[in-house]
Amino acid sequence: MAVMILDLLILGAGWTSTFLIPLCKERGISYAATSRSGRDDTIAFEFDPHSTNTAPFQVLPNAKTVLITFPIKVSGASERLVELYQQTHAEGPSAAFIQLGSTGIWDGGPTLQDGSHTWTDRHSKFDETNDRARAETELLALAPKVPTTVLDLCGLWGGPRNLKNWIPRVAPSKDALAKKGSIHMIHGLDVSRAILAVHEHFDRANGERWLLTDGRVYDWWDLASAWGEEGKQGKWVRELMDEHGVRALPRTPERIGRAMDSREFWKTFELEPVKGRLGEHP
């Protein structure tokens, strides 16, 4: 009997899947997704990073690409996940693996210097002591024998994730707002488009770590000025601008001192973000 092979297996049907699954349906891409409980027509599956038990993997379908949406932080667990999937799916073709990560592995670490700007791109040095970064490196080390890649994502928005609602929590006081610099974002639809682009052109991604943003550097002062509570954040921003000699918003990367460059991903996969500007609505 022929083995049924899906295009995409989503390990962890969380926020990303609310954009990814509709896009798969729209493009006719076959998929399956897992959740811990098996809710909403998903497959019940939970990855134990310390276990070598193959039983949980036996319920998973064969797929060309396996997307890992949950963070892995335990040493050896990335390789273990791949091996357990391979052991239980030997009859199908060799799967490729995409790990979703975070641009937080670069925060606070040394970055490439470009004149007076401080820029981070996917080649910049990252915090090698970060548990997620180490697990990503472990996964990438399996390539090229096992096709693997990592998509490190910045701040996520879309659907219930509305940045406007974050302002009171992020900037509850003028002092807190004064310390805020840049923020980088990407919409769930563009994350999904990126995942499917890698799935369709894995030869371009194999063994590589990518940094994904929507191509913009946002300024917390600018956002707080536009979306803050009346009489609070907007007022504080104007005062801070006077105090720091900022004549207009948004502040430049030179003033903020932290900027991320994700151009290489979009160029490599011949895409551009379709949600390339923050909005109040999904």
- pLDDT digits over 37-59, tens only? 999 999 999 999 999 999 999 99
* pLDDT classification of 148: cutoffs 50, 70, 90: very high
In a domain, 239, yes or no: no
Residue 248 lies in a domain: no
Q: Are 271 and 193 in contact (CB under 8 A)?
A: yes
Domain ranges, residue 68: 5-160+184-217+259-268
Considering the domain boundaries, does residue 146 fall inside one?
yes
Q: What is the distance between the alpha carbons of residues 72 and 147, in angstroms, rounded to a whole number? A: 18
CA atoms of 29 and 233, how far apart (whole Å): 45
Which residues does residue 100 pair with via DSSP β-bridges, in sequence order? 151
Encoded amino acid at 45, one letter: F
Q: Which residue has the tokens 């401080």?
A: 118
Question: Cβ atoms within 10 A of the Cβ of 92, count?
Answer: 16
Contact 241, 232 (CB under 8 A): no
Q: What angle do CA 25, 26, 30 make, to 5 degrees?
A: 35
Residue 103 lies in a domain: yes
Residue type, 24: C
* pLDDT for position 254: 82
H/E stretch holding 66 reads: strand 62-68
On the question of pLDDT at 8 being above 80, the answer is: yes
What's the CA gap between 212 and 41, in Å, rounded?
A: 30
In a domain, 80, yes or no: yes
State the CATH number of the domain containing residue 67. Answer: 3.40.50.720
Task: Specify the number of domains making up the chain.
Answer: 1
Whether pTM > 0.85 for this model: the answer is yes
- List the structure tokens of 141: 């080390």
